Amino acid sequence: MALILDGKAVAAAYKAKIKAKVDALAARNITCGLAILLVGDDAASRIYADRLVKLATGLGVRAVVRHLPADAAEEEVLTLVRELNADGSIHGILPMMPLPPHLAADRVAAALAPDKDVDALHPLNAGLVATGKSRWAPCTPRAVMAILAHYHIDVSGKHAVIIGRSNVVGKPLAHLLLGQNATVTVCHSKTGDLAALTRQADVLIAAAGRPALIGPDMVRPGAVVIDVGINEVNGAVVGDVAYDAVLPVAAAITPVPGGVGAVTTVMVVEAALRNFGDL
Ligand SMILES: Nc1nc(=O)c2c([nH]1)NC[C@@H]1CN(c3ccc(C(=O)N[C@@H](CCC(=O)O)C(=O)O)cc3)C=[N+]21
């Protein structure tokens, strides 16, 4: 039976650090502000926004959700980004991805003030992640790395197989894993014979957004399985891994909920506080 990689335990250590920083700011009458930019109503983004508001508020960080309709014009979105860039009470901006298909995610990313860019989406920050020189990476890949570090899972020389090539998860995570000397394969919806690749993984990371994509036949016995998926199925939140079936095959596995997602949210709040330095 696999070791369960408990995201809540990893999150707890970060929450304590965040609380100390928030208290130090409060003593100087400063409140950190996080703006969440949600366009349309992607289910995973809505779950994420709800969670972030609860967590940030509980930790003493002001979180505001700026919600635009799914058919918002690009100029409307860009105007809102510029407004948040200029707003001195906002220290971090998180545009929820994916954006509706008529909007160009790269133009929204490029409009962000690089210093307020919580998810390292601006081309400057994304480029620094790709060259291994960044001060910070997107929050979900950082959460994956934090879980691996917490459980002393060394990826050096290991084969990490990522399913998903988004700018928010798959691509930056590949760079972070390469930085730790893993051998990385990135798979996606056009990959032929996915199972042949996933079965070679020492560390298998599913970030496809497809419930039960990963069954036990796709997992090498003894592999570490990291489930990044957040899917809503009949009102319940499930990942991309058929958890109960994979549990007896894997050496270690993250649950959903309570795995990567639980760490990602604390990474966002931590990122919003970054502009205040170490204190
Ligand atoms: N720019 C951008 N960056 C993202 O990282 C990003 C995004 N856009 N768009 C949406 C997806 C989704 N996502 C989640 C992260 C954490 C939880 C989360 O907190 N999950 C909890 C609770 C789930 C529940 O409510 O049961 C858990 O897994 O334990 C959910 C969803 C980040 N995403």
- Average pLDDT for 43-54: 97
pLDDT at residue 38 above 90? Answer: yes
Pair of tokens at residue 226: 């990291």
Proportion of the chain above pLDDT 70, given as a percent? 100
pLDDT of residue 1: 83
- The predicted-structure confidence for 160-218, as pLDDT tens digits, reads as follows 999 999 999 999 999 999 999 999 999 999 999 999 999 999 999 999 999 999 999 99
The predicted-structure confidence for 7-29, as pLDDT tens digits, reads as follows 999 999 999 999 999 999 999 99
Our answer on whether the CB atom of 179 is closer than 6 Å to any ligand 1 atom is: no
Pocket test for ligand 1, best of 264, 266, 267, 269 (most atoms within 8 A of CB): 264
Tell the CATH superfamily of the 28-118 domain: Leucine Dehydrogenase, chain A, domain 1 (3.40.50.10860)
Record the pTM: 0.98
Domain ranges of the chain: 28-118, 139-262
Q: Are strands 92-95 and 62-68 parallel, antiparallel or unpaired?
A: unpaired
Tell me if 166 is assigned to a ligand binding site: yes
Q: What is the pLDDT of residue 176?
A: 98
Distance in angstroms (rounded) separating the CA atoms of residues 9 and 14: 9
Question: Does the structure show a pLDDT above 80 at 85?
Answer: yes
Question: pLDDT for 120-165, tens place per residue?
Answer: 999 999 999 999 999 899 999 999 999 999 999 999 999 999 999 9
Instruction: Indicate whether residue 45 lines ligand 1 (CB < 6 A).
Output: yes
ipTM: 0.98
The encoded tokens of residue 151 equal 């459980």
Topology, domain 139-262: Rossmann fold (3.40.50)
Does the pLDDT value for residue 279 go beyond 80? no
User: What is the rounded CA–CA span in Å between residue 214 and residue 195?
Assistant: 9
Mean pLDDT computed over every residue of the chain:
97
Rounded CA separation 152/260 (Å): 16
261 CB within 6 A, ligand 1: yes
82 backbone dihedrals φ, ψ, rounded to 5°? -65, -35
pLDDT at 54 over 90: yes
Q: Can you tell me the distance from the alpha carbon of 33 to that of 125, in angstroms, rounded to the nearest whole number?
A: 20
Q: One fold for both 28-118 and 139-262?
A: yes
CA 64 to ligand 1 centroid distance, Å: 16
